[in-house]
Amino acid sequence: MAEVLVYVDHVDGAVRKPTLEVLTLARRIGEPVAVALGAGAAATAATLAEHGAVKVLTNEAAELADYLVVPKVDALQAAYQQVSPAAVLLPTSADAKEIAARLALRIDSGIITDAVDVEAGADGPVATQSVFAASFTTRSVVAKGTPVITVKPNSAPVEAAPAAGAVEELSVTFSALATGTKVVSRTPRQSTGRPELTEAAIVVSGGRGVNGAENFGIIEALADELGAAVGASRAAVDAGWYPHTNQVGQTGKSVSPQLYIANGISGAIQHRAGMQTSKTIVAVNKDAEAPIFELADYGVVGDLFQVVPQLTEEIKARKA
Amino acid sequence: MSLRIVVTVKYVPDATGDRHFADDLTVDRDDVDGLLSELDEYAVEQALQIAENADDAEVTVLTVGPEDAKDALRKALSMGADKAVHVEDDDLHGTDAIGTSLVLAKAIEKAGYDVVISGMASTDGTMGIVPALVAERLGVPQVTLLSEIAVEDGKVTGRRDGDAASEQLEASLPAVVSVTDQSGEARYPSFKGIMAAKKKPVESWDLSDLDIEAEEVGLEGAYTKVESADARPARTAGTIVKDEGEGGKQLAAFLAGQKFI
Ligand SMILES: Cc1cc2nc3c(=O)[nH]c(=O)nc-3n(C[C@H](O)[C@H](O)[C@H](O)COP(=O)(O)OP(=O)(O)OC[C@H]3O[C@@H](n4cnc5c(N)ncnc54)[C@H](O)[C@@H]3O)c2cc1C
Ligand SMILES: Nc1ncnc2c1ncn2[C@@H]1O[C@H](COP(=O)(O)O)[C@@H](O)[C@H]1O
């Protein structure tokens, strides 16, 4: 059976969930060979094996952390040459897209980014994408070379599929360009204790209607009652009320949860681009004409300062 | 010596228009108004700021696109860029990101550069990979997705806010940079700027000027093929209630009915 390279997104050995989703898709095409790079790479093996990796290629060279993107391209290319896979799949992230692009160019292959599904087809993998702010669904194939595909979070279920997951050291010779862009310092993002925005089953977001950083507490209180992640519109982020890492939309995160609750958000096309594929959409907005209601499965026309706290209390009461 | 800055800008269909696909499954550019991609305005802005802080600098804006793409160049010139290059050729229709990066890289080399500045992503394709591809082709450092940027003493430094961490980056020139929409609001063209733009030089190059064969680009040269494009079924209208004092409770009942609570 053909092998499929899967790039592993991990933080110090902790595998992030989208990688496990990609393993599910990779198994439709062939046998997943995982490539884990950087500090803690070897520690990823057990989790990857549990989810179908037949082999885990690792490299923990310092260059991988000290320089931007290119060392990882060198390493992934080394893995590609060793394995000659039928496809290369990566979980979408800013880094992964750039790594994928440069690899594709080097191996003279086509690249598809942000797939929401990947299936085996007669002429190689077929990738489904959601485009133009999720108003169209396209199906594409790579016409030349070995398909390189990045897959969005929440595009497939995580499935247990125990495999050998034998760890092998990947030998990498870094290119002259590898040390071109130095990472002078790195400040890890502080954990909020809430689920990752892109991985959460429920996202509760606030927009300009929240009207102040101090008021985001009522959005967080609802999120915590539901075990949800907190999102924000760009208007709320630009106003400095909530961090940019929580922005949902075209230039923020793209989310696809089971439930999305938009509070005081009008529903501009650029915001929709990041949340339109959510399973169930709920909106609270005082303007009955707000475009967000066109998407909503359930909407409340009202003041969020009344509706949201009442909702939070009611959930508490129902749980008790 | 003068600092040569090349800004890559894309002409895109307006996101608030009714964007769709043409019969050959390329992006339809006839029925929707086009404009300079808003995310590339941030690149123009940073280029102008860097030029203003340098002793001597020249900002060239570069686009690869159809006849109408000149509008994007005019806008960038009216913001304050010095000159423009338009790569236009009938054989470019349907070019994908890999092909676009080839054309851009050849044009950037022909124009001459110390730093290339791109947007974080185009608002139509939204791949966000062209800057990395151009850096790979030019064989120079990529310093991408910066929310803060400075160019000084032959070096580019900046901050990249990633998923897991915020990174401070540094590279020597020449380099390829891309900037995010967190890098600072773009200026509006002034009346004077708009008038001045009319007199600024716009060069037109075609594929032969760049020694690129027609087969390397266009639909034929594309590395990926769109097999189908279907409009997503509109979301069916849901229940909208007006809050008469019980809105939160009604919403809770809905969520309970859907098993979210
Ligand atoms: C290139 C580009 C990229 C962009 N990327 C993004 C992106 O990634 N994400 C994003 O979100 N936007 C993005 N935008 C901006 C987008 O166009 C909108 O400006 C933005 O989404 C508006 O945010 P908002 O809905 O919070 O604010 P508004 O549009 O001002 O809406 C606020 C809403 O709150 C309601 N409201 C006010 N007070 C209350 C109250 N007390 N109770 C209930 N409702 C209330 C109002 O009725 C209104 O509908 C982008 C724009 C561009 C040009
Ligand atoms: N046809 C083009 N002409 C000029 N610049 C482009 C073109 N396509 C992409 N770019 C540049 O590359 C960036 C990222 O584009 P993309 O990878 O298509 O999302 C854009 O913000 C532009 O700066």
Do residues A181 and A230 lie in contact, with contact meaning Cβ atoms separated by under 8 Å? no
Decide if A186 touches B, using CB distance below 8 A. Answer: yes
Candidates A12, A126, A132: best to mutate against B (most CBs of B within 10 A) is: A132
Query: Which pLDDT does position B108 carry in this prediction?
Result: 98
| Mean pLDDT value across chain A | 96
Percentage of chain B exceeding pLDDT 70: 100
- Whole-Å CA distances, B5 to A229, B2, B117, B152, B176: 41, 9, 7, 13, 10
Alpha-helix residue ranges (DSSP H) falling in chain B: 38-53, 70-79, 97-111, 130-138, 191-197, 218-221, 247-257
Tally A–B CB contacts below 8 A: 254
Q: At what angle do helices A94-106 and B130-138 cross, to 10 degrees?
A: 40
Report the chain A residue with the minimal C-alpha distance to residue B167: A186
Q: Whole-angstrom Cα distance, residue A307 to residue A311? A: 6
Query: Which pLDDT does position A305 carry in this prediction?
Result: 98
What are A50's two structure tokens? Answer: 């549990």
Beta bridge partners of B60: B6, B83
Given a cut of 90, is residue A72 above it in pLDDT?
A: yes
**Residue B18: band (very low, low, confident or very high) from pLDDT cuts 50, 70, 90:** confident
Residues of A within 8 A of B172 (CB-CB) are: 180
Q: What would the pLDDT profile of A113-163 be if each residue is shown by its tens digit? A: 999 999 999 989 999 999 888 889 999 999 999 999 999 999 999 999 999
Ligand at shortest distance from the CA of B107: 2
Query: What's the rounded mean pLDDT across residues A229-255?
Result: 96
Query: Which among A100, A104, A302 is the nearest to B243, CB-wise?
Result: A302
> Does residue A215 have its Cβ closer than 6 Å to ligand 1?
no
Of A157, A119, A153, A130, residue with least CA distance to A256: A153
Candidates A251, A287, A303: best to mutate against B (most CBs of B within 10 A) is: A251
Q: What would the pLDDT profile of A97-116 be if each residue is shown by its tens digit? A: 999 999 999 999 999 999 99
What are B33's two structure tokens? Answer: 């108004």
Specify the range with the lowest mean pLDDT, choosing from A304-313, B7-16, B53-62: B7-16
Q: What would the pLDDT profile of B195-231 be if each residue is shown by its tens digit? A: 999 999 999 999 999 999 999 999 989 999 999 999 9
Report the chain A residue with the minimal C-alpha distance to residue B184: A238
Ligand at shortest distance from the CA of A304: 1
Do residues A268 and B38 lie in contact, with contact meaning Cβ atoms separated by under 8 Å? no
Q: Whole-angstrom Cα distance, residue A112 to residue A89? A: 10
Selected residues 120-179 of chain A with any CB under 8 Å from a CB in chain B: 126, 130-145, 177
Nearest CA to ligand 1 atom 35: A264
In eight-state DSSP terms, residue B28 is P
Query: Which pLDDT does position A294 carry in this prediction?
Result: 93
- Whole-Å CA distances, A259 to A39, A207, A313: 35, 17, 19
Q: What is the pTM of this model?
A: 0.96
CA-B122 nearest atom, ligand 2 = 19
Q: What would the pLDDT profile of B102-115 be if each residue is shown by its tens digit? A: 999 999 999 999 99
Query: Which among A112, A298, A312 is the nearest to B239, CB-wise?
Result: A298
**Residue A174: band (very low, low, confident or very high) from pLDDT cuts 50, 70, 90:** very high
Query: Which among B140, B223, B255 is the nearest to A144, CB-wise?
Result: B223
Q: Whole-angstrom Cα distance, residue B36 to residue B57? A: 23
Do residues B55 and B154 lie in contact, with contact meaning Cβ atoms separated by under 8 Å? no
Q: What would the pLDDT profile of A11-58 be if each residue is shown by its tens digit? A: 999 999 999 999 999 999 999 999 999 999 999 999 999 999 999 999
Q: Whole-angstrom Cα distance, residue A94 to residue B146? A: 12
Shortest Cα distance from A63 to chain B (angstroms)?
14
Of B241, B103, B124, residue with least CA distance to A136: B124
Query: Which among B124, B142, B252 is the nearest to A69, CB-wise?
Result: B142
ipTM of the complex model: 0.95
Q: What would the pLDDT profile of B62-83 be if each residue is shown by its tens digit? A: 999 999 999 999 999 999 999 9
Specify the range with the lowest mean pLDDT, choosing from A275-279, B37-41, B112-116, B140-144: A275-279
Selected residues 45-104 of chain B with any CB under 8 Å from a CB in chain A: 96-98, 101
Ligand at shortest distance from the CA of B97: 2
Query: Which pLDDT does position B237 carry in this prediction?
Result: 77
Residue with tokens 């931007």: A68
Residues of A within 8 A of B229 (CB-CB) are: 131, 136-138
DSSP chain A: --EEEEE--EETTEE-HHHHHHHHHHHHHSEEEEEEESTTGGGGHHHHHHTT-SEEEEE--THHHHB-SHHHHHHHHHHHHHH--SEEEEE--HHHHHHHHHHHHHTT--EEEEEEEEE--TTS-EEEEEETTTTEEEEEEE-SSS-EEEE-TTSS---------EEEEPP----GGGGSSEEEEEEEPPP-SSPPTTT-SEEEEE-GGG-SGGGHHHHHHHHHHHT-EEEE-HHHHHTTSS-GGGBBSTTSB----SEEEEES----HHHHTTTTT-SEEEEEES-TT-GGGGT-SEEEES-HHHHHHHHHHHHHHHH-
Given a cut of 90, is residue B27 above it in pLDDT?
A: no
HSE, CB side, 13 Å, CA atoms: give it for residue B252: 20
In eight-state DSSP terms, residue B92 is G
**B32 CA → ligand 1 middle, Å:** 23
Report the chain B residue with the minimal C-alpha distance to residue A129: B229
Q: Sheet harboring B57-64: ordered strands across?
A: A182-188, B165-172, B155-161, B142-152, B175-179, B115-119, B3-8, B57-64, B83-87, B202-205
Do residues A83 and A26 lie in contact, with contact meaning Cβ atoms separated by under 8 Å? no
Q: Whole-angstrom Cα distance, residue B221 to residue B63? A: 19
Residues of A within 8 A of B171 (CB-CB) are: 180-182
Beta bridge partners of A202: A259
Decide if B187 touches A, using CB distance below 8 A. Answer: no
**Residue A278: band (very low, low, confident or very high) from pLDDT cuts 50, 70, 90:** very high
Residue with tokens 């992230």: A93
Query: Which pLDDT does position A222 carry in this prediction?
Result: 98
Q: Whole-angstrom Cα distance, residue A165 to residue A45? A: 6
Query: Which among A126, A187, A293 is the nearest to B166, CB-wise?
Result: A187
Do residues A44 and A10 lie in contact, with contact meaning Cβ atoms separated by under 8 Å? yes
Nearest CA to ligand 1 atom 11: A233
Which residue type, as a one-letter code, is found at position B19? R
Beta bridge partners of A229: A203
Given a cut of 90, is residue B177 above it in pLDDT?
A: yes
Percentage of chain A exceeding pLDDT 70: 100
Decide if B29 touches A, using CB distance below 8 A. Answer: no
Candidates B217, B224, B242, B259: best to mutate against A (most CBs of A within 10 A) is: B224
**Residue B28: band (very low, low, confident or very high) from pLDDT cuts 50, 70, 90:** confident
